[in-house]
């Protein structure tokens, strides 16, 4: 079964939002379920620091051997950090999606928007309905 940590928030598109030490900054990546569905990831295209996104905007692309998937920003904000390690080690998203496989950090435009995201329980229910 896919790993769904309790302390994160989730989208229907299988991105997660993880708190950081700065209350206004979150780390974003794709969930364990998403990396499992994609399979071996070979290339990740990510935005540059300073780029801004609205909720549901495409912020990047993940290429696996057999599939390609766009990445959707779970929430509005400005990119304050990009995980450069993924450039050379994209498979970190497969091996540690919630850890070293994080993709970008966003400074939130409106911290209140996180209320629209799913908690772990809701996301697990969403997965249950997605995989029958």
Shortest separation between residue 5's beta carbon and other proteins, angstroms = 21
Choice from 18, 25, 45, 81 touching other proteins (CB under 8 A): 45
Q: Is 66 in the site for other proteins (CB under 8 A)?
A: yes
CB of 47 to other proteins, least distance (A): 14
Select from 57, 63, 89, 124 the one that contacts other proteins (CB under 8 A): 63
Kind plus residue range of the DSSP H or E element containing 25: strand 25-30
Q: Between 5 and 34, how does the x/- string for binding to other proteins read (CB under 8 A)?
A: ------------------------------
Tokens of 121: 């329980």
Buried b or exposed e, range 41-77, using 16+ CB within 10 angstroms = beebebbeeebebebeeebbebebeeeebebbbbbbb
């Amino acid at each position: 079964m896919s790993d769904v940590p309790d302390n994160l928030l989730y989208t229907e598109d299988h991105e997660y939002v993880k708190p950081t030490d700065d209350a206004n900054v979150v780390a974003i990546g794709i969930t364990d379920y998403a990396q499992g569905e994609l399979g071996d990831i070979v290339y990740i295209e990510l935005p540059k620091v300073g780029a801004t996104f609205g909720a549901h905007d495409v912020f990047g692309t993940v290429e696996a051997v057999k599939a390609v998937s766009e990445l959707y920003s779970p929430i509005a904000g400005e990119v304050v950090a990009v995980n450069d390690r993924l450039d050379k080690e994209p498979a970190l998203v497969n091996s540690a999606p919630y850890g070293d496989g994080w993709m970008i950090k966003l400074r939130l435009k409106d911290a209140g928007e996180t209320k629209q995201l799913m908690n772990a329980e809701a996301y697990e229910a969403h997965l249950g309905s997605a995989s029958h």
